[in-house]
Each structure stands twice: as C-alpha cells, then as structure tokens.
Amino acid sequence: MKKKSLLLSTVLISTTLLAGQVAADETEVTLAQESNVSQQASVLSSEEATSSAVETSTPLAEVAEVTAEPTNQEQEEATAATTEDASAADNQSEELGSASETNSDYAITVLHTNDMHGRIVEESSVIGTPKLAEAVKESRSQGTTLVLDSGDAFQGLPISNSTKGEDMATLMNEIGYDAMAIGNHEFDFGLDQLKKLKELLQFPLLSANTYVNGARLFEASTIIDKNKEVVGDEVVVIGVTTPETATKTHPRNVVGVTFSDPIAEVTSVIAEIEARAKAEGKSYNKYIILAHLGVDTTTPTEWQGSTLAEALSQNALLSGKNVLVLDGHSHTAKVDTYGNVTYNQTGSYLNHIGKIVLNSERVLENSLITTEAGKALKEDETVAALVKTIQEKYAAENAVVVLDKSPVELNGQRENVRVRETNLGNIVADALYDYGQTGFSHPTDLAVTNGGGLRETIQKDKPITKGDIIAVLPFGNIISQIEVTGQQIKDMFIKSLGSINQVDSNGNVVLDENGQPLLEPSGGFLQISGARVYYDTTLPADQRVLAIQILDHESQTYKDLVLDKVYYLATNDFLAAGGDGYTMLGGSREEGPSMDGVFADFLAKADLTKYAVINPNSRTISIKASELATYLTSKETKPTKDNTQQSTQNTTTTTTLELSPSGQTQTITVSYQTAAFKSKAQAVHEQNKVKGNIYFGQALAFADGDLLTLPLTASNRSIAAVLVGFVLLLVGLIGVRRKRH
C-alpha cells in the first residue's frame, strides 16, 4: 500500500511539474507575442510619423498647383515686349506674314512623366494609362502639346514585365508620346530587347551619353516642330542617362556599353545644335532636357539632375532661352529654378502628370495634375480597351495562388527596404539561405539580397499569388552562390551601410526605431540571413561596421567573422556580378533557379507568423558603439526562435531506442530542421540512447539545434506526452498489484 501511495504521489508530482513547465512555456510565448504586438505597434507608429515627415518635407504642396503668376514688373515687361514684337512684325510682314506675330508668345503645353515603371492600370494612387491618354487628348484639343517621358517606363510591375515592356510600348504609342529618355531600367530585359522596343516605338528614345564602341547607341536629340506655320516654335529635346546604369541594371545587360559624363555630353550636344542652327540661319529658343539622373544624395553630385540644371543656367549658348530639365530616377516630386532653367520631377509610378506651359520667353504655368485630378478624368476608350486585353491575358498567367492567405504584412516600401532590416527582406534572404543548404556544392553560410530589388509589399490577410511574388521580385534574377573571403564580406557590409544620414526639411537628422540616425535610401542596402551585422550610423561610413557574426553550421551559434576564411555567399546574380557597386565580390560561382521560384517554394512551407515584426533589428542591428559589448554579453549567440533563417520543413529519420534497462524498445522519430541540424540531432539522440533516457512524446524535435523535451500544450507532442504518462501510470499500477498478489 505504501508503494502504491508512493507511486501515485510521484506521478502527481511529475504531472504537476510538467503542467507548471508547460504553463511557464505558454506564458513565455504569450508574453513574447504581446511584446511583438507592442513592438509592431511602436514600429507602425514610428513609420506613420516618418511618413508624415516625408509628406511635410516633400515639396508636393509647392508642386501640386504651382502656377507661375507674372508680377507687376513682369506684366509691364511683357506689355513692352508685345509692343516691340508688334512693331517688328509690321516691319517684317512682307517676309514672314502673320506667322511672325505669334513667334514670341506662341504657347506650348508640355505634359511629362517619369519612372512610370509599368503602371498600366489605375490603382489607389496611380492615375493609369487610360486617364493619362485622356489628359493628353484634352490638352491637345486646347492647343499645341508635347508628351515626354524621362525614363524607366517599361519595367516595374508584372503586368508590364510579362511582355518585357512591349505592352507598355504599345500603350505609349497610342497615347502619342513625342520623345523619351533612356532610364537605367530600360536595360533590365537585356540590350537586344531594348533594341526591339526602340523599333516598336513610334517616337525616339534619346540618350546623349550612352555609347557602344565609341558610337552613340541612341539618338542624342530631336527637334520637335508641331506647327509648321509658326516660326520659332521649335523645341529642342535632348536625352541623358545616369552613369549609375552601369551598376543599376544587371551587368550582363550593359556589356560593352559605357555612360559618359552627363553634363559634358549635354553641353556638347547643345554646342553642335547651336552651331548647326547658326549655319542654317535658324534660332531655337526652347530647350528641354529629358534627364534620367535624379537628386538622390547617394548619387555623385556631378551626375545629379539638379547639378545639370545649374550648369545649364550658366551656359552662354543658352542665355536668354527658355530651358527645362525634366528629370527622373530618384522618384522625387521636385520643382526648382536655376536662372533661366526650370527643373521638374513628378515623383514616380504615374501618381502625377507634370504640366508646363511655356513660350519662347518664360514658363507661364508650372503644375502637376494630381492623383485626384487625374483619376477624375474619364478614360480614353481606345487605351482602356487595350488595357483590358492586357489585363485579361496577364490575369490568366498569374492567378495561380501560392499561399491562401498571408497572416502578416511583408513590407516592401522603398523607404523601408533600402534603409534598414525589414521582414520582407528577411524572408527573401531566408529563402535564398534555405535553398543554399542543399542547392549548391557547399552549404550556404550567409545570404544577402539588395533592398532595391524588392519592389512591392505583400498584403496581410490576402492570398499570395504568382503575380504578387513577381511584383516583389520583378527583375527575373536567379540565385547564385559565390565563394568569398571574410574580408570581402566585411567590405560588402561597409558598402551596404555607406549612405549618408537622412535629414528632414529643417536639417534635423532623422532617427530610426533605436534612436540612431537613419540612412538615406540606397538600392544597395543589403537584407541578410545567416549573419548578424552590428553598426553605428553616428560614425564615419568606413567605421560604422562594429562587428559581424556568421551562423556556424556545426554548433548552430553565431561566430565572429574570420577575415581570411572562405565562406559561401548566396545572393542574386545581379549582386554576384558586381551590381549596385559590389565589385569586391567575386570568386567561383554556381547558379541556381529563378529567385521568384525559390521564394514561392519557401513561402509555401514557411511559418510567416515568425515575420510579424516589420523592422525587427535582429540581423542588421543598429546600435551605439558604446553599447555593443553589453549587448553582446546579454545576447544569446544561437538563432532566435522568431524570424530566423530556418526552413519549417522537417526531415525525419527513425531509429530504435532502448527505453529502460529491462530491454524494452520503441521506434523513435527524430525530426530536424535543415541539413545543418542533422549531425546535432543524431548526436543528442545517441547520447540519450546510451543513457537509456525515457522521452516524453513520440518524437524528438530539434528546433534551433535544441532538444524539445517539454512540448507546449495543444501540440501533438504534448498530447502524446500525456498519453505516455497515463500508460506509465497504468503499468506501474499493474506492477504494484502483481507484487501484492
């Protein structure tokens, strides 16, 4: 009887301890979830504040309805000029007739776009091509109108990418564009496809500074004369392309192509045109430079559109002429004036349409057709019909559902993925890391992808389709693995974190969620997996990287980077080939399948709830240098259980294990995550086999390399543990009863 009581007491105590441990585990999980929710709310609040700051600092308020109203002095000058023109017209009436009367004050409307990036369809903040066509039609019904684009029109969204820009080219032909500058992303489908698009277009592609073997690849300029009956209304249009194209499209797309200095080339073309005009007895008073240069602070100053505008304002050949610089590339809504040069950029994604009205002497109106005004227009029927056909074709190709519903938002906003760690960057990098464990000759040590290659957000509580994935990764890149040294990895992260700090409109430094200065957006900012990088943005660019740790396959702990050690880096083929300026990378390379395919496969098996926090600061860790030592001391070196680079697809094996000294055996399923955990799983299994330990549950599960012996309630292992407990209790009772008899 005493033995029975002792056995029951032991079982009750064990059950209580197990329940207490499970309750503690559940409490820890609940608290972690609450912490994540709180952190996410904080992040969202911070991002809303950042968004508000951006809206305040962006000159949209100035741009939205900027109409140049002449001052009293200007009106007097205009009246005097008109009188002089009328007198001159009387004297020259026999030679020029009535045309000369409208020479100086003949107004032309310029509608312009930049960085449309395949925005064919009207969306919440996108005007769309049918209503753009209607705006053009209305303007042309009221007077002479030029329609111009400053580059990056064909590539960007799956609906345009699916035909490598050909559908977008058809729409631009129908809208009636007059000229377009070459942007860096015009090369994204390859040089041969760009040449094909050039032939499809019914208007010229312009770039004065793009060369192959010493010859210009495109026309440098064109002269547009919309009204042959008016003398002096001709408009000279010159195109120029950012030299950053050499690193901001895939290097294979620009083999043999060079991009010379923008200012020098535009200046040279102006000199040629002016010399020819003088020889022919002509005079051009209106110049429009279609530039794809931008004003990003990460762009060298001499390549920026604003620098070009300032240089042109000091060009003696343009003195007294009306000059416009219509820019793109940096996705900035900006209006500025440099002497007789007006600088404009509309933002991006067809959120606005630029509108300028000018004559030979000055700009009469400078404004934007806003999103609201554009969406209020009716659709052009012909373009709308074309768009419908394109949509139907595309929908059939991309309606395949990869995941029924995403439980989280995976944030791909440009101002997010290009400046700090994000959950979208983490999961894409994790997909590369996961593939790299078995897809190449050597397991991947770390994976990186550039923020500039992540182009869309995956929405919460909505299905994820093939089209959504292509929208995130629209460039058709493939996964590559390259052999690199620790020194190359260090140099790579120094490059990634080399941008200057953001400042607001008042010159104040913008801070991130950790109170550290936030970097200016750069397409080369790296999202990572399998590594931790600690950095301090208060330090000079070449000193910001404080420490780098790489996840070790054997111990599954993070270890300090060894500069002369060889590592295997998985990335996209764009970066592997030196794109975005990562020329320090190199070494032998293996290539795999398309990134969008690898990402789709990973999404189908991943636990997306691990990526709930948009900016987790868990891999690319922004921290003060003075706080690093304390942080590292308190931080565990093994991977965290939320938002890590593990695959959720288990590999299983079975083995026979002695459960007690009496020789009873049971088949145990050993489960481990990714090949990297296999050796540790087997080692721990063998240890326990030798010890003859009894396991709670029907399986040994390894997560982050740890043996889970106390499963959470409501899990299969937890239920199995309870059943085993009851079986052991029953066996014990039977044994006691037999001894009593």
Q: How does pLDDT run across 111-133, given as a tens digit for each residue?
A: 999 999 999 999 989 999 999 99
Superfamily of domain 58-391: Metallo-dependent phosphatases (3.60.21.10)
pLDDT of the residue at 249: 87
Number of H helices, E strands in the chain: 22, 30
- Token readout for 556 is 């599954």
For the cut 90, the answer to whether the pLDDT of residue 650 exceeds it is no
d(CA 486, CA 549): 10
pLDDT of the residue at 531: 98
What are the beta bridge partners of residue 323? 287, 341
Domain 403-634 falls under CATH 3.90.780.10: yes
- Cβ–Cβ < 8 Å for 356, 110: yes
Model confidence at 98, pLDDT cuts 50, 70, 90, reads very low
pLDDT of the residue at 30: 32
Lowest mean pLDDT among 41-45, 110-114, 145-149, 514-518: 41-45
For the cut 60, the answer to whether the pLDDT of residue 263 exceeds it is yes
**What Å distances lie between residue 524 and 123, 249, 450, 521, 562, CA to CA?**
28, 12, 5, 9, 24
Nearest to 162, CA basis, from 124, 192, 120, 126? 120
**What Å distances lie between residue 160 and 74, 369, 413, CA to CA?**
46, 23, 20
What are the DSSP E strand ranges found in 226-362?
235-241, 257-259, 286-292, 322-326, 333-338, 341-346, 353-358
Helix (H, G, I), strand (E, B) or coil at 240: strand
Taking the domains of the chain in order of start, what are their residue ranges?
A: 58-391, 403-634, 649-740
pLDDT tens by residue, 157-170: 888 988 999 999 99
d(CA 417, CA 456): 10
pLDDT of the residue at 298: 82
pLDDT tens by residue, 3-47: 444 444 443 434 443 333 333 333 333 333 333 333 333 333 333
Higher pLDDT, 117 or 678: 117
d(CA 278, CA 312): 19
For the cut 50, the answer to whether the pLDDT of residue 386 exceeds it is yes
Helix (H, G, I), strand (E, B) or coil at 341: strand
pLDDT of the residue at 655: 41
What's the whole-number mean pLDDT along residues 650-677? 40
pLDDT of the residue at 256: 95
pLDDT of the residue at 297: 85
Lowest mean pLDDT among 83-97, 189-203, 361-375, 534-548: 83-97
- 69 Cβ partners below 8 Å, 6+ apart? none
- Token readout for 454 is 């992540």
Helices 305-313 & 262-280 angle (0-180, nearest 10): 40
Angle at 205 between CA 199 and CA 211, to 5 degrees: 100
pLDDT tens by residue, 187-240: 999 999 999 999 999 999 999 999 999 999 999 999 999 988 888 789 999 999
**What Å distances lie between residue 30 and 26, 42, 406, 712, CA to CA?**
6, 18, 21, 12
d(CA 574, CA 136): 37
Model confidence at 89, pLDDT cuts 50, 70, 90, reads very low
d(CA 622, CA 546): 10
d(CA 329, CA 295): 8
- Cβ–Cβ < 8 Å for 534, 628: yes
pLDDT mean across residues, the chain: 79
What percentage of residues in the chain have a pLDDT greater than 90?
Answer: 63
For the cut 50, the answer to whether the pLDDT of residue 308 exceeds it is yes
What's the whole-number mean pLDDT along residues 363-375? 94
For the cut 90, the answer to whether the pLDDT of residue 319 exceeds it is yes
pLDDT tens by residue, 270-295: 999 999 999 999 999 999 999 999 99
Tell me, what amino acid is at 352?
H
Residues 325-348, buried b or exposed e (16+ Cβ, 10 A)? Answer: bbbbbbbbbbbbebebbbbbbbbb
For the cut 90, the answer to whether the pLDDT of residue 419 exceeds it is yes
What are the DSSP E strand ranges found in 172-320?
179-181, 205-206, 210-212, 215-216, 221-224, 235-241, 257-259, 286-292
- Cβ–Cβ < 8 Å for 292, 304: no
Which H/E stretch holds residue 670?
strand 665-673
What's the whole-number mean pLDDT along residues 544-555? 96
Torsion over CA of 467, 473, 479 and 483, rounded to 10 degrees? Answer: -170
pTM, full prediction: 0.61
pLDDT of the residue at 656: 42
What percentage of residues in the chain have a pLDDT greater than 70?
Answer: 71
- Cβ–Cβ < 8 Å for 529, 512: no
- 136 Cβ partners below 8 Å, 6+ apart? 111, 145, 147, 175, 176
For the cut 90, the answer to whether the pLDDT of residue 692 exceeds it is no
